[in-house]
Chains A and B, each alone.
Chain A
Amino acid sequence: MSVFTIPVITDNLQRTDTAAAAICRGLMPSDTAHVFPITNFGDALDYLNMEMPDLACIDFASSELRPFELLDTIVGDPWLLHAGIIAFCDSREDADRLAEIRMANIIDVVMGDEIDEVVPKIMGVIKSNRQILFQRVIGMDIPSNISAAIQLENDTHVASCYANLLANYLYTTNKINRDGKASLSVVVHELLANAIEHGNCGISYDEKTRELDGGGDIQRLIKKRCEDPAIAARRVLFEYTITRASSKFRIVDQGTGFDWRAVPDPTSGANCFMSHGRGILMARAFTKNLTFNDAGNVVEFEVEHAMPNDCVMPGIFRDIEPGVVAPGDIVLREGDISDFIFYIVNGTFEILVGERVVSTLSEEDIFLGEMSFLLEHRRTATVRATTSGRLIKVSKRTFVEAIKRKPHYALLLARLLAQRIERINSARAVRPS
């Protein structure tokens, strides 16, 4: 069972009702959704700041609410305000404008008259991938990989939602750049669509050619095929694993497979004028290591993360130049007076009490030395770099001033400490007596 608390930021209460109904239709009966309207700019900003929801709907047709100004504010501090956003629009102009705001974590843009149809699909995708949104809110505390295995129905719109969600996540967490985002969207979309069309629905290359060249369309052909209950029951298995270094994807369909070696080269001769047949070519071109199994019903690929983690550092520390450390450097020494904290940009550090290593920290732990910093103790341990790395030294004055400007950073620090205590407690619970 999952509980979703989702604000709909709108001055149109009927839209809240429509969204609430659509959201509920996308969830399981055992799930609970609390969907409520926020009808003014100040309340919306306060809610996003203080509650840090993992999902919010913003109605960009509610011009009185200044939704674009709200989005600008969100984008201005993506480390904290990174709720996944479902954007509602009534005009193509607004949708185009949203397309330009690339750093926003917009899961999908839904036209007002499509909320009923599209939002349940989006919610289905979000429910299966909630950890992606939640990990962002928790503040990069990603000690383990993110992975999921999802079964998709034969619906290419859902394929498109997955492509958006994953590409947006990797882009906004700076694991891929803008080109990488477009490429990944295309690859995931193309391969999931292939699995649905050619895999589960068994639509051949020639059949698709006839349909398209005869004025038909592929969605209609898929729907027609799915009138057969046996085909409609087929699913596409979509698996992904996101680690610090790369993301791996695996797509398995339940069709009889296809001879991927025999797909005509779409750049050769008359093939270049064909109305289809470029999906695999594009997917191959936008990935480095795409492989099919022999039967042609399993495809895998990997995307290396090229962007440095430090792009996601908190906005309040961005003006402070990080210091560089080398392996073996002593960062903090046991017994020293503590009046500063370190934000870990990157690197790995061991914590020593005396000569004994008691713990290891890295950028996933976000801060170094926060306990002594908060409690005004002398340092209780020595911190030594085990790799090269970069640290931002933040004085107590700077930190307090930052919290005055952005109080929600205090909430984040509190959450972080709570997580560490929880982790220590969990480790104690499993430790053999």
Chain B
Amino acid sequence: MPPTIQFNDGPSTAVLVLSGRIVAEDDCLLRERIEQTLRSPAPIKAIDCTDVEFLDSYALGQIIYCCTNPQGKRGGIYFVNRSNGGSSYIDRLVEIADLRQIFTIVDSIETLAADDNPEN
């Protein structure tokens, strides 16, 4: 299925929201969003993969590269996949590719929202 790759630019942080099938053929869209993310004054805070059907090694590599290169990495990055109702494919991918070395895996984007609130 075609992917959806949204870039939600918050007041101080940005979230990359992915859904559907994200594979090498979606390279243009993925790169456009990644470049948008890198241009943002707000650093990437999280990648939300809750609604991802699957992503291939190429797309995963691009996301990792984007989020860990010096331009993208400005603090720890959360990787969101709801434990209840999220993508079981992504759960397996987290284990297979050992993504915990790179990201902090969290259950919900909502739990991060509080950190983005300047009053906190």
Contacts and interface: CB of A to CB of B under 8 A. Distances in A.
Interface of A: 89, 92, 95-96, 98-99, 106, 109, 111, 156-157, 160, 178-179, 182-183, 185-186, 189-190, 193, 212-213, 217-219, 266-267, 272-279, 281-282, 285-286
Contact of B102 (A111, A185, A273): A273
Given A276-B57, A282-B57, A95 B1 contact: yes
A267 B89 contact: no
A99 B24 contact: no
A156 B101 contact: no
Contacts of B19: 96, 99
Interface of B: 1-2, 4, 19-21, 23-25, 27, 31, 53-54, 56-58, 60-62, 64-65, 68, 88-89, 92-93, 96-98, 101-102
A263 B9 CA distance: 37
B27 A99 contact: no
Which among A98, A178, A276 has the greatest number of chain B C-beta atoms within 10 A? A276
Contacts of A272: 64, 97-98, 101-102
Contacts of B25: 156-157, 160, 219
A286 B62 CA distance: 21
Contacts of A218: 24, 27, 58
Given A160-B25, A179-B88, A217-B27, A267 B98 contact: yes
B86 to A, nearest CB: 13
Contacts of A178: 88
B61 A275 contact: yes
Nearest to A87: B1
A186 B97 CA distance: 14
Given A92-B4, A156-B25, A218-B24, A266 B62 contact: no
Given A95-B2, A99-B1, A186 B56 contact: yes
Contacts, number: 106
Contacts of A106: 1
23 contacts: A92-B2, A99-B21, A99-B53, A109-B2, A156-B25, A179-B88, A182-B88, A185-B54, A190-B57, A217-B27, A218-B24, A218-B27, A218-B58, A219-B24, A219-B25, A272-B64, A276-B58, A276-B61, A278-B57, A278-B60, A279-B57, A279-B58, A282-B97
Contact of B58 (A96, A193, A281): A193
B59 to A, nearest CB: 10
Contacts of B53: 99, 182
A131 B89 CA distance: 29
Contacts of B65: 212-213, 273-275
Given A95-B20, A217-B27, A278 B61 contact: yes
Nearest to B52: A182
B2 A285 contact: no
A189 B101 CA distance: 26
Contact of A98 (B1, B62, B101, B102): B1
A190 B56 CA distance: 7
B84 to A, nearest CB: 16
B61 A183 contact: no
Nearest to B93: A282
Given A95-B1, A156-B24, A189 B62 contact: no
A274 B61 CA distance: 7
A120 to B, nearest CB: 15
Given A96-B2, A182-B89, A281-B97, 16 more contacts: A95-B1, A95-B2, A96-B20, A99-B2, A99-B53, A106-B1, A179-B92, A182-B53, A186-B89, A218-B27, A219-B25, A275-B64, A277-B57, A277-B61, A282-B57, A285-B96
B61 A111 contact: no
Contacts of B62: 212, 275
A183 B64 contact: no
A117 to B, nearest CB: 11
Contacts of A98: 1
B18 to A, nearest CB: 11
Given A160-B25, A212-B61, A212-B62, A273 B89 contact: no
Contacts of A217: 27, 31
